[in-house]
């Protein structure tokens, strides 16, 4: 068996997991494997195939992991030859026949880039206060039953570590756990952000973490999916070896996408500044 690290821009896709009628990352991986002759046409996947986990529509990844019975010649570079440029395999390693990409992961790390300026550049809302943010994060981290922050009915008790730092107008939030229930990271960020900008009191954290069900206007909606990245999936005693050519290609692909996004931001800023009376 062989395991592969996969990076992708999730914004154009309806999540990672295959679905019958929409474009997904896993669907693109499977189509590539069919064209490469690694799996049959139809609905099948390679023998013993498994992925580290699902990501929601719009969520990106740096270290999504898939593993399956792969031929010796299927290097990351060969895999990439049949993939779209926004999905790149960049590292791989041989694993034991009983390896399972989902069940053998001991920790997953997500990173969220929250646009949270400290000035008053948030019409109708107070500036984000880093002190209030820190208090909310401290209250949310640790072992809790997060039943009010997910639509899952079971498996809601988790131990979560949250690290963060400010990078200009962004709060870069790293959330680590053995596993995550649905939308948990996005709702954690949403609740902390509401406390940080003053739209919710710190006491709301205690209400949300209490055994009572919180619903309606007291519920916590998820923040946008696009700033969320699956940054790492940890497997003890498994070391991935980057494919030098594939990793360089992936780095170049995402550098171009970053440049395109920065250009689009400048254009949007030019239009916005002009509408508000600004000058070039």
Lookup: tokens for 73 = 């010649």
Report the C-alpha gap between 228 and 89 in whole angstroms.
Answer: 19
- For 34, the 3-state DSSP assignment is helix
The 3 state secondary structure assigned to 112-164 is EEEECCCCCCCCCCCCCCHHHHHHHHHHHCEEEECHHHCCCCCCCEEEEEEEE
Identify each DSSP E strand in the chain by its residue range: 2-8, 50-51, 60-68, 87-94, 107-115, 142-145, 157-167, 170-177, 228-234, 241-242
Determine whether 56 is an active site residue: yes
Contact 17, 26 (CB under 8 A): yes
Total Cβ atoms within 10 A of residue 13: 25
**Catalytic residue of the set 56, 104, 232, 249:** 56
Q: Which residues are catalytic?
A: 56
């Amino acid at each position: 068996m062989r395991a592969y690290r996969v990076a992708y821009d999730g914004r154009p896709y309806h999540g990672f997991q295959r679905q019958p009628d929409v474009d997904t990352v896993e669907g693109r991986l499977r189509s590539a494997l069919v064209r490469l002759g690694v799996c049959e046409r139809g609905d099948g996947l390679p023998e013993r195939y498994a992925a580290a986990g699902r990501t929601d529509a719009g969520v990106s990844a740096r270290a999504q992991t898939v593993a399956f019975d792969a031929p010796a010649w299927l290097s990351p570079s060969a895999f990439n030859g049949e993939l779209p440029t926004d999905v790149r395999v960049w590292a791989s390693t041989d694993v034991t026949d009983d390896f399972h990409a989902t069940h053998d992961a001991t920790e997953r790390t997500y990173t969220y880039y929250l646009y949270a300026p400290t000035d008053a550049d948030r019409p109708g809302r107070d500036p984000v206060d880093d002190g209030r943010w820190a208090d909310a994060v401290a209250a949310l981290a640790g072992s809790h039953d997060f039943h009010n922050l997910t639509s899952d009915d079971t498996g809601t008790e988790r131990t979560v570590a949250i690290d963060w730092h400010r990078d200009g107008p962004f709060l870069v939030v790293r959330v680590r756990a053995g596993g995550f229930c649905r939308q948990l990271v996005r709702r954690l960020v949403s609740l902390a952000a509401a406390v940080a900008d003053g739209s919710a009191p710190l006491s709301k954290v205690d209400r949300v973490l209490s055994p009572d069900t919180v619903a309606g206007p007291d519920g916590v909606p998820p923040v946008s999916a696009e700033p969320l990245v699956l940054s790492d999936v940890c497997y003890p005693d498994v070391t991935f070896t980057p494919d030098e050519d594939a990793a360089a290609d992936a780095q170049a692909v995402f550098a171009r996408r970053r440049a395109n996004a920065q250009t689009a931001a400048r254009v949007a800023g030019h239009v916005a500044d002009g509408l508000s009376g600004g000058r070039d």
